[in-house]
């Protein structure tokens, strides 16, 4: 399996892939998903109501001791984070202010520890942290890792299309080895994943420029905290984390010789693990097992982009590597030994 044959075939696969509509539709969805975080943070930075939504609610307190003669002081966590003076604070004497401030400080330390600050919101739409957040958001947005779903659908479609069209037998009859053919598909998929992250990064840069040039009622801010090194690390970790999901889709498609079944099995596994994994955490022993499932391992692997590797990070790295090698080995073995039939029509 000369590498030049793999590269030549991968170029031909790209020539075919870029003429299909599905990859471009998936790319558009990926970019839109990655942009949600940037513009949500931007709007929340300038709007109290959206800030409360991002904060998933807002705790409040109302102070009205008898010795204040009916003067009430009310405050919210979001209001404090935005630097607003509590309502009624101006009407207090200095002694009353000191007493109110003691109550407010105690309440804030207890109830406002998870409040999203303005600095955190600003980091969400300024460079280079906006790129890091966009890549992470694409990979694992909230409870649903949409990026992983898109990658599995693309993988199953790319590998299974040859079965549906009935062109696989013709291609292999031309002298291309099966290992060379499947290796070219995998190489193209890795390049596509890297390309998607590059497009997401470019879109994030454009969005951050727009956010800096048209801010309401304040000077624009383009660069904030974070480093470009973080962008590189989180991108590389994401691509590595995608490997077992690509392998799963390739295995499912090779096993069933069907694009539709490959997509169904891959997405079905995703749904089942998303439901079962939280339930397993109710038991300590089973919870440890759940941490090594595909999606949970991916989240653990991509959770901390920088810093010294922890034991959990190294375990996630090993788990991802193990899943990838096992599933790829199974896919290559099945693809090598199975007879190739005509068009499947899916």
Residue at which a domain ends, from 115, 140, 164: 115
The answer to whether 64 and 95 are in contact (CB under 8 A) is no
Residue 11 domain flag: yes
* Phi and psi at residue 62, to the nearest 5°: -135, 120
Residue 256 domain flag: yes
Examine the pLDDT at 114 and tell me if it is beyond 70.
Answer: yes
Q: How many domains does the chain have?
A: 2
Residues 94 and 170 in one domain: no
Q: In this predicted structure, what is the pLDDT of residue 132?
A: 87
Residue 120 domain flag: no
* Token output for 216: 């309401």
Helices vs strands, H then E, count in the chain: 15, 2
Residue 73 domain flag: yes
Q: What is the secondary structure of 287-339 as a DSSP string?
A: HHHHTTSHHHHHHHHHH--SSSPPHHHHHHHHHHHHHHHHHHHHHHHHHHHSP
Residues 104 and 195 in one domain: no
If one compares 161 and 34, the residue with the highest pLDDT of the two is: 34
* DSSP letter, residue 274: H
> CA 340 to CA 123: how far, in whole Å?
52
Nearest to 139 by CA among 252, 305, 324, 306: 305
> CA 183 to CA 181: how far, in whole Å?
6
Judged by phi (left if over 0) then psi (alpha if -120 to 50, else beta), residue 62 lies in: beta
Residue 317 domain flag: yes
Residue 345 domain flag: no
Residue 268: C-alpha distances to residues 265, 281, 324, 328, 337 (Å)? 5, 21, 18, 19, 26
> CA 266 to CA 210: how far, in whole Å?
38
> CA 186 to CA 143: how far, in whole Å?
28
Of 67-71, 205-209, 212-216, 316-320, the one with minimum mean pLDDT is 67-71
* Token output for 156: 């199953």
| Mean pLDDT value across residues 134-163 | 79
| Mean pLDDT value across residues 41-49 | 86
How sure is the predictor about 268, in pLDDT bands with cuts at 50, 70 and 90?
very high
| Mean pLDDT value across residues 77-96 | 76
| Mean pLDDT value across residues 235-243 | 89
Examine the pLDDT at 319 and tell me if it is beyond 80.
Answer: yes
Q: In this predicted structure, what is the pLDDT of residue 99?
A: 78
| Mean pLDDT value across residues 201-225 | 73
Residues 238 and 165 in one domain: yes
Residues 73 and 184 in one domain: no
Work out the percent of the chain whose per-residue pLDDT is above 90. 15
Residues 91 and 132 in one domain: no
Residue 244: C-alpha distances to residues 226, 247, 297 (Å)? 29, 5, 10
> CA 192 to CA 199: how far, in whole Å?
10
Residues 239 and 283 in one domain: yes
> CA 87 to CA 74: how far, in whole Å?
5
Residues 157 and 133 in one domain: yes
Give the range of the structural domain holding residue 95, as residue numbers without chain letter: 56-115
Residue 171: C-alpha distances to residues 54, 72, 128, 168 (Å)? 52, 79, 45, 5
* DSSP letter, residue 335: H
Class of residue 94 by CB neighbours under 10 A (exposed 0-12, middle 13-18, buried 19+):
exposed
* Token output for 120: 């955190």
Class of residue 303 by CB neighbours under 10 A (exposed 0-12, middle 13-18, buried 19+):
middle
Residues 277 and 182 in one domain: yes
> CA 253 to CA 162: how far, in whole Å?
11
Of 109-113, 140-144, 146-150, the one with minimum mean pLDDT is 140-144
Residues 163 and 61 in one domain: no
| Mean pLDDT value across residues 55-61 | 73
Examine the pLDDT at 272 and tell me if it is beyond 80.
Answer: yes
Residues 175 and 64 in one domain: no
Please name the residues in contact with 102: beta carbons below 8 A apart, sequence gap of 6 or more. Answer: none
Residue 287: C-alpha distances to residues 69, 241, 290, 293 (Å)? 54, 21, 5, 10
Residue at which a domain ends, from 84, 115, 146: 115
Cα radius of gyration rounded to whole Å, the chain: 26
Residue 10 domain flag: yes
Omega before residue 152 within 30° of 0, cis: no
Residue at which a domain ends, from 93, 115, 137: 115
Work out the percent of the chain whose per-residue pLDDT is above 70. 83
Residues 132 and 109 in one domain: no
How sure is the predictor about 219, in pLDDT bands with cuts at 50, 70 and 90?
very low
Nearest to 146 by CA among 134, 137, 158, 156: 137
Residue 320 domain flag: yes
Residues 218 and 289 in one domain: yes
Please name the residues in contact with 55: beta carbons below 8 A apart, sequence gap of 6 or more. Answer: 77, 78, 114, 115, 116
């Amino acid at each position: 399996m000369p590498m030049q044959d793999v590269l030549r075939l991968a170029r031909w696969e790209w020539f075919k892939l870029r003429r299909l509509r599905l990859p471009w539709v998936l790319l558009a969805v990926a970019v839109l998903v990655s942009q949600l975080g940037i513009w949500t943070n931007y709007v929340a930075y300038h709007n109290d109501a959206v800030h409360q939504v991002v904060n998933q609610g807002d705790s409040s307190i109302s102070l009205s001791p008898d010795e204040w003669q009916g003067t009430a002081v009310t405050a919210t966590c979001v209001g404090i984070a935005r630097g607003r003076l509590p309502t009624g604070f101006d009407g207090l004497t200095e002694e009353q202010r000191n007493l109110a401030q003691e109550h407010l400080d105690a309440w804030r330390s207890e109830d406002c520890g998870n409040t999203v600050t303005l600095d955190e919101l600003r980091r969400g739409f300024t460079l280079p942290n906006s790129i890091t957040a966009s890549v992470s958001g694409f990979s694992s947005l909230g409870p649903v890792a949409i990026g992983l779903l898109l990658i599995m659908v693309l993988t199953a479609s790319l590998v299974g299309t040859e079965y549906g069209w009935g062109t696989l037998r013709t291609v292999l009859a031309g002298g291309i080895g099966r290992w060379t053919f499947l290796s070219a598909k995998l190489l193209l998929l890795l390049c596509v994943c890297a390309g998607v992250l590059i497009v997401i990064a470019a879109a994030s840069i454009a969005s951050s420029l727009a956010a800096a040039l048209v801010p309401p009622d304040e000077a624009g801010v383009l660069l904030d905290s974070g480093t470009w090194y973080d962008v590189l690390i989180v991108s590389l970790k994401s691509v590595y984390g995608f490997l077992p999901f690509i392998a799963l889709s390739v295995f499912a498609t090779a096993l069933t010789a069907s694009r539709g079944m490959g997509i169904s099995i891959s997405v079905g596994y995703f749904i089942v693990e998303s439901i079962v994994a939280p339930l397993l955490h109710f038991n300590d022993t089973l919870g440890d097992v759940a941490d090594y499932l595909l999606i949970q391992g991916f989240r653990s692997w991509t959770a901390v982009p920088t810093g010294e590797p922890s034991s959990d990070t190294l375990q996630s790295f090993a788990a991802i590597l193990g899943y990838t090698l096992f599933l790829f080995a199974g896919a290559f073995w099945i693809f090598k030994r199975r007879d190739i039939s005509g068009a499947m029509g899916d």
